[in-house]
Amino acid sequence: MGSEIDPCRHERERLLRPRAARPNIPTKLLIGQILVVLAIVTAGVWAATQWAAAMLVYQPQLCLPWLTLFDRPVYLPWAIFPWWYHYDAYVPYVFDKAGALAAVSGFVGRIRRINDLPILDGTSAYGVFSVLLSKG
């Protein structure tokens, strides 16, 4: 019976090997993923702000732009929120669409986060399931 194939042998050997000295990095909080999601959401809100300003023909009532780029005013990303509060009664369709654009960026950021989750490949999944079945 020594010729039986043990599918978990490699995993057991890996677990029994002494760990090399390396810094303990927490994997529960992945700063890179958080920054990517924040960048996606900020870009979406900023695009909604710029789109709303363009639909409102860059009127002076919007406030002073943060900067001017290629003869176009560029507003801060969060400038849409006071505009929405003050001018929604006058042009609700503009702010409905701008809000939808900002909301979509939140969903895109969430999808980006979901896609970063680890996926079990065939060998590790087989090892996990075979261990669970053997304990069953």
The one-digit pLDDT tens for each residue of the chain (136 residues) are: 555 676 777 777 777 776 665 556 666 567 777 888 888 889 999 999 999 999 999 888 888 889 988 988 999 999 999 999 999 999 999 999 999 998 888 787 777 555 554 444 444 444 444 444 454 4
pTM: 0.60
CA dihedral 86, 89, 95, 96 (to 10 degrees): 140
CA distances from 33 to 44, 56, 107, 115 (A): 17, 35, 15, 10
Token code pair at residue 4? 């039986």
Of 49, 53, 36, 46, which is closest to residue 108 (Cα–Cα)?
A: 36
Domain boundaries, the chain: 30-117
Map tokens 């939140």 to a residue: 106
Rg of the chain taking only CA atoms, in angstroms: 26
Using DSSP, how many helices (H) and how many strands (E) does the chain show?
5, 2
